[in-house]
Amino acid sequence: MFLPFIILAAVPFIMVLGNSMLIPIFPQIKQALDLTPFQVGLIITLFSLPAGLLIPFAGAFSDHVGRKTIMAPSLLIYGCGGLLAGVASVFIPHPYPWILVGRVIQGIGAGGTYQLAMALTSDVFTSTERTKVLGYLEAANGFGKVLSPLLGAALGLISWYVPFFAYGLLALPIALCVWLFVKEPESKGAKMTPKEYLQKLREVFRAKAASLLSAYTAGAIGLFLLFGMLSYLSDELETKFHIAGFVKGGVLAIPVGMMSLTAFFGGLFLESHRKLLKPAVITGLALITIGMTSLPLGRQAVIPFVSLATLVALGIGMLLPPLNTLITSATSPDERGLVTCLYGTVRFFGVAAGPPIFGLLSTHHIGLMFLGGAAIAALGAVIALIWLDPRMMVEEKQGKA
**Residue 401's pLDDT is what?**
43
* DSSP labels, 246-309: HHHHHHHHHHHHHHHHHHHHHHHHHHT-GGGHHHHHHHHHHHHHHHHHHGGGGTTSHHHHHHHH
d(CA 211, CA 219): 12
How does residue 130 score in pLDDT terms, banded at 50, 70 and 90? low
| Average pLDDT of the residues in 24-43 | 88
Statement: residue 290 has pLDDT above 90: yes
Identify which of 314, 324, 172 has the alpha carbon closest to the alpha carbon of residue 256: 314
Q: Nearest 10 degrees: CA dihedral of 301, 303, 306, 307?
A: -120
How does residue 395 score in pLDDT terms, banded at 50, 70 and 90? low
**Residue 131's pLDDT is what?**
65
Average pLDDT value for the chain = 84
Better-predicted residue by pLDDT, 136 or 307: 307
How does residue 188 score in pLDDT terms, banded at 50, 70 and 90? low
**Residue 337's pLDDT is what?**
67
d(CA 229, CA 223): 10
d(CA 118, CA 400): 14
Query: Per CATH, the architecture of 2-179+194-396 is what?
Result: Up-down Bundle (1.20)
Contact 132, 271 (CB under 8 A): yes
d(CA 260, CA 257): 5
d(CA 256, CA 301): 19
% of the chain beyond a pLDDT of 70: 89
| Average pLDDT of the residues in 168-173 | 90
| Average pLDDT of the residues in 26-33 | 90
**Residue 83's pLDDT is what?**
95
Alpha helices by DSSP H, listed for 66-161, are 67-91, 96-110, 114-124, 127-156
% of the chain beyond a pLDDT of 90: 34
**Residue 399's pLDDT is what?**
41
**Residue 94's pLDDT is what?**
92
| Average pLDDT of the residues in 365-382 | 92
Lowest mean pLDDT, pick from 31-45, 77-91, 280-294: 31-45
Statement: residue 77 has pLDDT above 60: yes
Identify which of 144, 25, 165, 195 has the alpha carbon closest to the alpha carbon of residue 87: 165
Letter for the amino acid at 54?
A: L
Statement: residue 397 has pLDDT above 80: no
Question: Is residue 328 classed as helix, strand or coil in its secondary structure?
Answer: helix
Lowest mean pLDDT, pick from 84-93, 120-129, 292-301, 313-322: 120-129
**Residue 272 burial (10 A CB sphere; 0-12, 13-18, 19+):** exposed
How does residue 398 score in pLDDT terms, banded at 50, 70 and 90? very low
User: Domain extents for the chain?
Assistant: 2-179+194-396
How does residue 269 score in pLDDT terms, banded at 50, 70 and 90? confident
**Residue 384's pLDDT is what?**
95
How does residue 249 score in pLDDT terms, banded at 50, 70 and 90? confident
pTM of the entire predicted model: 0.73
Residue 46 zone, left/alpha/beta (φ > 0; ψ -120 to 50; rest): alpha
**Residue 197's pLDDT is what?**
66
d(CA 342, CA 236): 33
**Residue 366 burial (10 A CB sphere; 0-12, 13-18, 19+):** middle
Task: With both helix axes pointing from N to C terminus, report the angle between 2-20 and 127-156 in degrees, rounded to the nearest 10.
Answer: 40
How does residue 306 score in pLDDT terms, banded at 50, 70 and 90? very high
Listed in sequence order, the residues at least 6 apart from 374 whose beta carbon sits closer than 8 Å to its beta carbon are 288, 289, 290, 292, 293
